Amino acid sequence: MKELIFRFHPYILIAFPCLLAEILGAITIFSGKFLISEYLLKLPVSKFQMPLLGQIMFLFLEVIYILSNIYFLLPVFQAHKNGKISQNNRLIVARTRIFNFPPFVIASIWTLNIAENTILYFFKPDFFTTLPFLFTAIVSTVLTAVFVYYATEFFNRFLLIPYWFSDGKIKVSWKIRVPSLFLRFGDTFLISGIFPVLSILGIILITLQNGVHDQKELERVMYVSLSIGVIFWIFGGILTFLNSKTFLYPLQSMEKALKKYSDGNYKERITVHSDDQLGLLEATVNQMGIELEEKEIIKTVFGHYVSPAIRDMILGGKVKTEGDKIEAVVLFTDIRSFTSLSENHAPENIVKLLNIHFTRIVDIVSRNDGFVDKFIGDAVMAVFDAELTGGHHKLSALRAAAEILKELEETNNEISQFGFEPLKIGIGIASGPVIRGNIGSANRREMTVIGDTVNLASRLESATKDFGIPILITESSFDQACSEYKPLQKKAEEFMQVRGKTELVKVLLLELSNLR
């Protein structure tokens, strides 16, 4: 159905207002001539007969009205060929005419009615001295103009505007001022509230002026008043329906879009139906979706280069990029004998190995509330912030170390298909104050942590080969909660000399327990 409407909508725009105006005119004639004059007042059939010249002038005005609408929509016909919108230099003109057609129609109707009533006055001046006809002429003009405008505007708003402005950007070269959203309610109140009351009061006044002769005349007053009231209420009801849908459709679309945005689906877009306050809200919701989607893309891409935890801290403004001292546990791990692996295997297989290994480490670190600070060749540096872990940074680091060792078996099974021998890794863990900051040049920076604790963790990882143990951890990093962690067991305690330190550092040698 929509495709058929879109294909022939220029012709529909010409015919629809004319047909609607004729229907309203017929209802007006029925109300004024038959209900009021002949039925209620029992006036003789009007002797007024429009002369041939008057009839020709009336017909001429109707033709001019139709031709003016055709001329106004001529760019639309030119830009809409073979049932499709042509991307030519007439497109902006056609869009402007489509957008402004409803207010143009209302101006045309006012001009037509004023001209026709002027002709009536010219041929029959006493016609307008008869109150019923004068009132009917005024009400007919207002009712026709209001009803045709809102019916055409509704057709435009929900079918043609989305069709001609499919990108949601309503850009036209000029605009005819249209009724505001507030005035819509005023027009509805006028049609359904004020006009019925004025009509009924007018009927009573006319009846009293003509004199009430019997009870049947009072009954006719009641029937005519009820009929006129029902006619206005029907039009008022239709107008209320059109205006309520004008508000309801966009609000429902916006509600649906906002619900999807709250669920993390930022791809939803809604149709922009106008450039009024509702259209502005629709466009704003779409812009919100675009910006949220862009931020999500940036967040996702950013998370590929820095830890998601660090990413969220940076985007949330929780990181002092100029430098901040924090309490943390630093974990270093790397692959033993990686140089020989690199020499004996194809580069693409080395990359696959590292990606498989690093993927598991990143997942494990994230599960334990830590974040990967950086990859250094085959080594990984992870940080467990005391604040981010709720003070459980030491236990979180220990759990991560245990899980890395446990899942190494799965990694070895996976890389065996590429011809690799089982990997062996070392893990060094140290805790203490570190400096977190955005370090680098003006063109390229890296959010990282630095300090003695970082250096110590790196030294411990290197020393695991000398001790023949998978995990070396400083005594200060092993608290009461760590001692109760069963998957790891303490094999020994040692004092070791760390380069750059004058005093010996007490370390614990850990390995996976048989209870894991």
Tens of pLDDT, residues 359-375: 999 999 988 989 898 99
Q: In CATH, which of 3.30.70.1230, 3.30.1490.20, 3.30.43.10, 1.10.10.10 is domain 313-512?
A: 3.30.70.1230
CA 440 to CA 419: how far, in whole Å? 39
The pTM assigned to this predicted structure is 0.63
pLDDT digits (tens, 9 = 90+) for 176-229: 877 677 788 888 888 888 888 888 887 777 777 776 666 777 788 888 888 888
Helix, strand or coil, per DSSP, at residue 192: helix
pLDDT digits (tens, 9 = 90+) for 25-43: 788 777 777 777 777 777 6
Token pair of 266, please? Answer: 């930022």
pLDDT above 70 covers a percentage of the chain that reads: 89
Query: Can you give the length of the chain in residues?
Result: 516
Contact 20, 143 (CB under 8 A): no
pLDDT at 459: 94
CA 162 to CA 166: how far, in whole Å? 5
Ranges assigned E (strand) in 400-441: 425-440
Domain chopping of the chain, boundaries = 2-262, 313-512
Token pair of 85, please? Answer: 């919108």
Among 361, 390, 387, smallest CA distance to 373 is for: 361
Radius of gyration of the chain (CA): 41
- Residues 6 or more apart whose CB falls under 8 angstroms from that of 266 comprise 260, 289, 292, 293, 296
Say whether pLDDT at 54 is over 90.
no
Alpha helices in 263-307 (DSSP H): 277-305
- CA-to-CA separations, 501 to 128, 166, 214, 452, 505, in angstroms, rounded: 111, 70, 121, 10, 8
